[in-house]
Amino acid sequence: NLQELLPVFPRETARSERMAAITWTQTQEESEDRMHSVVAKGASHGEWVNIQERCFVAWVNKHLAKSKADPTIRIESLSELNTGVRLIQLVEALSQRSLGRYSATSKMRIHHLSNVDKALQFLIKDQGVTLVNIGASDVVDNHRDIVLGLIWTLIQKYELRLSRAELLAWARDMISSTSNITIHNFGSDWNTGKALCALVDACKPGLVDADALGPDSLANATLGMKLAEEHLGVTPVISPDDMVSPHVDELSVLTYIASINAVHPAGPADPTRPPSFLKGMFVEVVRGPESSIEQRTGDGNDRSLTYVPSDGRGGYEVRIYWHGKLIPGLPVLVGN
């Protein structure tokens, strides 16, 4: 009997209710800055579940592109993980380790179970990932809630460098350093697209004046993601449409912001660096005595600007910008 020869694959215990999608929460037993995922009860949670899946699919594809075996592989839906092949390839890309031989072309359920179990056991035993109530059959049978939970677990393991509270504090500090925008969450506060633009500008000053952006949220979010990809090398895992949606999923925004933090983990850039939208002339002190140092800004199209170090001693190295563009051949020494 073939069935008697099959390995026993772990699976979840029976549920009285089906559950769908995941979100983040905190319990009294956990510290305030610890983040974890829970499964939200109910048969359907509307559009935010779809937004979450689209984000997680994009995140999977971002890492599948790093596959040593075939960087062109992509998935259109998380259900494509059910044979275990794409899941193994994802785990190999994330861990930069080979999982060895597996059934790459078989259409038999037994081989799909074996593939998925191989990936899960590697995550548990080799990578130290904690998987709760996730069995091979859940992935093979396309239990959407469990698969979403699995991908979120991988995001926490391989993408997030900070806790939710720490990441939010980082984003808030970055955004406030370059704009008058304040954020308190990873949801509705990002709907206008302005917070994203401000964050990108804080990472690379001079790209955009977020405070001057218009009311077109979709255009703002599109601009922010374009700038992040072109200047920071951050692949978007959420679309502009999903970011401005009133049903935006917080885990999706958090995952995207975490990818920006990964390439720019430091705090706000030098606030004295003039943005590209600055009009007139700007003097930036590069190095000087430890007395009061001033940055001076000209008005409008005034091409002349007198700069005198505040202590009168001189010995300052300065750069000069015109309408936000560095004048070549600088810095220069001012005084002796």
Pair 245, 51: CB distance under 8 Å: yes
- Cα separation, 324 vs 91, in Å, equals 45
Q: What is the pLDDT of residue 46?
A: 74
Q: In b/e form, how buried is each residue of 264-288, taking b as 16+ CB within 10 angstroms?
A: beeebbeeebbeeebebbbbbbeeb
How many CB atoms lie under 10 A from the CB of residue 174?
26
Look up the pTM and report it: 0.70
The contacts found for 2-7 with CB under 8 angstroms, 24 or more apart, are 2/110, 6/110, 6/113, 7/114, 7/117
DSSP letters along 163-190, please? -HHHHHHHHHHHHHTTSS----SSSGGG
- Read off the DSSP letter of residue 85: H
Residues 59, 66, 126, 76, CA torsion sign: positive
The SS3 of residue 130 is coil
- Cα separation, 57 vs 159, in Å, equals 14
Q: What is the pLDDT of residue 217?
A: 97
Q: What is the pLDDT along the chain (336 residues), one digit of tens a residue?
A: 333 334 444 444 333 333 334 444 333 333 333 333 333 433 345 788 999 999 999 999 999 998 887 889 999 999 999 999 999 999 999 999 999 999 998 889 999 999 999 999 999 999 999 998 899 999 999 999 999 999 999 999 999 988 999 999 999 999 998 899 999 999 999 999 999 999 999 998 889 999 999 999 999 999 999 999 999 999 999 999 999 999 999 999 999 999 999 988 876 655 455 444 445 556 665 555 544 444 455 555 555 666 566 555 556 666 666 655 566 665 666 665
C-alpha angle 140-143-145 in degrees, rounded to nearest 5: 140
Q: What is the pLDDT of residue 265?
A: 80
